[in-house]
Amino acid sequence: MQIGDTFYWGDGGHLWVVISDPSCHDGEFIMVNLTKDVFRAGKECELIVGDHRWIREKTYVSFGDAKKVGPKEAVNLEKSIANGVIRTHYPMKPAVLQKIVSAAKESKALPEEYIDFL
């Protein structure tokens, strides 16, 4: 996995975005998901059509659902990608990724211990 990678589980699942660089943290990284549910995610980071090919309408980054992934979990993700359980999507555009990371640093929903990864 690399910063900016995106992927989803099954058809119609949420898009997940790697927002930190695994090579800077001994293989650990933070990932967040995108949702249309503003009540779940809040409005800390809104994305619009054109920000990513996945986005078809106003979408929100759900920092409260962020996950820290370690090297063992990353291997499992890679295996799931290889066997088709998880599907990769286009990488996040650098400018949009920077917008997400900047919002994450200010987020009240992102667990505080994740900030050091950004």
**CATH number where 47 lies:** 2.30.30
* Residue 81 placed within a domain: yes
Q: In which domain, by residue range, is 111 found?
A: 6-117
Total domains present in the chain: 1
Rounded to whole angstroms, the Cα distance separating 104 from 88 reads 22
* Residue 1 placed within a domain: no
Residue ranges with strand state E in the chain? 6-9, 16-18, 29-35, 46-47, 59-69, 86-89
Q: Tell me: the pLDDT tens digits for 78-106?
A: 999 999 999 999 999 999 999 999 999 99
Q: Tell me: the pLDDT tens digits for 33-83?
A: 999 999 999 999 999 999 999 999 999 999 999 999 999 999 999 999 999
CA distances from 106 to 76, 77, 99, 114 (A): 30, 28, 11, 12
Task: Name the pTM for this structure.
Answer: 0.94
